A and B are shown apart, each in its own frame.
Chain A
Amino acid sequence: MLELTRITAGYDPRDPVVRDASLTIAPGESVGLLGPSGCGKSTLAKVAALLHRPDAGTVVLDGRPVRGWRHGAPRAQRTAVGVVFQQPRLSADPRLSLRELIAQPLRATGRRAEVTDRVAELAPAVGLTAELLNRRPHEVSDGQLQRACLARALVLRPRWLICDEMTAMLDASTTAALVAVVEAYRRESGAGLLAVGHDRVLLERWCDRTVGWQGISGRVATQESMSPTG
């Protein structure tokens, strides 16, 4: 379970962008979170990925409450959630080749022995050729870079995947290709998914259920359209 309960979060405690939002995702379930741009759904996604400390509320990940955020979260908890962001250009360290980009999480967690195998396995799955893997971000297109970012999110085999507007900058074919990669991984691993976006047609096609931003935030302890917590 990934349980977000009554989360209030933002960048200014006096004016939070997320108020009292609750959302629960069951293992293996895919949930689409639909909302207009600027509504705070990306902030909620960062809270769910343990990358942003909420001002109030609790996050329970696989039965264990989250007590720290960013570096404060235990590594095992952090790496249980894979994230893909909207803008691949900003999500990739410009100095690293795509191969290194994908391998970073393995190196950071002391599993460098697996780098060769894991990259060789993931690259064809996301549609990257060996030649593209040697290039750096400024030498590839947005779509190719986002493929590498998705591979990076999958390289540690996370139990949860958070895709924050993953396809907003991409054309229809690349969008369909990346969604197919995510779904193939979920079928094989049973991972849960939170897909955040503003494209209703896409999210409804992609996810088991879609919740609107209005449905999860603002009201106190709403549980409609959500699987029972606890």
Chain B
Amino acid sequence: MKPTPDPQTPDPQTPDPQTPVLSVRGLSVRFRMRGGRHIAAVSDACFDLAAGECLALVGESGCGKSVLASALLGLLPGNAQTEGSAVLGDGTDLLTADERTLARTVRGRRIGLVPQSPAAHLTPVRTVRAQLEETLRELTGIRKPALRAAAEQAAARAAFPAGHLDRYPHELSGGLAQRAATALALIGDAPLLLADEPTTGLDRDLVERTVDELRRHTDGGRALLIITHDLAAAERIADRVAVMYAGRIVELAEADRFFGEPGPRHPYARGLLDALPERAFAPIPGMPPELGALPDGCAFAARCSRADDRCSAPPPFDGHLACHHGVRAGTEESAHA
């Protein structure tokens, strides 16, 4: 079954190379809590993601990045309310699509998920081959005689060694388990890959290998949204970086400008980079605000050394930055902010 094309999209059959694979506009997620309280987990997120591009969504735990990922996959719990839109290249709006559409045409087929803990994502009682074959049957309709070869091919795409196909997940090292999970995510040939903290708990070598492999798939023409708190991993893989703070995207920048010169422009992003042990190793004072009790103005103002009167009004996000100051070494950048 083909997803119903959005009438506004000109022609879904021949996608315009300029059409983003994913276009998120004004995405907000609020959780309704007991006693009428609300938690604003994601507020007004806007970004585009093109084929062959990797966007890293960075921020500390609890800033709303995982909720954003779950919203894109339609996996939010029942008390969540969403606003805005998240439109795939073919016009499917992930926020309004029903569960049936998401299950049949989106997850696995249009969005491949690279999970946080591959060991938990793989079924412990079945071999990697069995899991690959099952997913192949499900997503591509390949049947018995061809299935074996197809599974080996799918494994090879994620650099999973064919000799390990008949092993069970617990017999795999962390790196191989991650590759097996990636192989599963790639089977549906989804144009968009979503990696949720794919490197948590891995050592540096393994982080680099995992990230490099994901980069390879991006270079093969897929779009990749990677969600991570690991700035080093983000620097290694991303074309663009979106920094999230207290549920909002506060800066969206080219990765080389963000990590190199001239550096981030939002004071929070600057502080986050300065906290790295290879840089100043200095923490940002204070702690992020509660998502249930956000201030009226800039959520970072209470921790910001440059906060002034203007910060009592919420800073608008202009597509690159949500800050009244626009930190730069010089002032020329803040002028055009």
Chain A residues engaging chain B, CB cutoff 8 angstroms: 36-38, 127, 141-144, 168-177, 179-180, 198-202, 204-206
Contacts and interface: CB of A to CB of B under 8 A. Distances in A.
A36 B205 contact: yes
Contacts of A180: 282-283
A36 B232 CA distance: 17
B60 A143 contact: yes
B9 interface: no
B281 A205 contact: yes
B200 to A, nearest CB: 7
Contact of A171 (B174, B203, B229): B229
Contacts of A176: 275-277, 281-283
Contacts of B229: 170-172
6 contacts: A37-B174, A143-B60, A169-B61, A176-B276, A177-B284, A205-B278
A199 B200 CA distance: 12
A143 B287 CA distance: 9
Contact of A168 (B201, B206, B278, B282): B201
A199 B203 CA distance: 7
A127 B281 CA distance: 17
A141 B62 contact: yes
B202 A37 contact: yes
Nearest to B291: A141
Given A37-B202, A173-B283, A201 B61 contact: no
B60 A171 contact: yes
Contacts of A38: 174
A208 B78 CA distance: 51
Contacts, number: 78
B283 A199 contact: no
A36 B202 CA distance: 8
Interface string B267-302: 000011101111001111011000000000000000
A165 to B, nearest CB: 9
A171 B205 contact: no
B306 interface: no
B283 A177 contact: yes
Q: Which 3 A-B pairs have the closest CB atoms?
A: A177-B283, A171-B60, A205-B277
B61 A179 contact: no
B272 A173 contact: yes
Contact of B231 (A172, A179, A198, A204): A172
A174 B63 CA distance: 13
Contact of A142 (B59, B62, B281, B284): B62
A174 B283 contact: yes
A206 B62 CA distance: 26
A195 to B, nearest CB: 12
A106 B203 CA distance: 36
Given A36-B203, A37-B206, A176-B275, 20 more contacts: A36-B205, A36-B206, A37-B201, A127-B286, A142-B61, A143-B60, A143-B62, A143-B287, A169-B61, A169-B201, A170-B61, A170-B229, A171-B59, A171-B275, A172-B272, A172-B276, A173-B60, A176-B281, A179-B281, A205-B281
Contacts of A175: 275, 277, 283
Nearest to A132: B287
Contacts of A174: 60, 283
Contacts of A170: 60-61, 229
Nearest to A206: B277
A93 B129 CA distance: 40
A143 B144 CA distance: 49
Most central of A142, A168, A177, A180 by chain B CB within 10 Å: A177
A173 B271 contact: yes
Nearest to B62: A141
A101 B282 CA distance: 27
A199 B202 contact: no
Contacts of B209: none
Contacts of B277: 175-176, 199, 201-202, 204-206
Contact of A198 (B203, B282, B284): B203
B287 A127 contact: yes
Contacts of A202: 277
Instruction: Tell me which of B204, B271, B272 has the highest count of chain A C-beta atoms within 10 A of its own C-beta.
Output: B204
A171 B244 CA distance: 12
Nearest to A36: B203
A179 to B, nearest CB: 7
Nearest to B231: A172
A199 B233 CA distance: 12
Given A37-B201, A176-B283, A199-B204, A171 B278 contact: no
Nearest to B202: A37
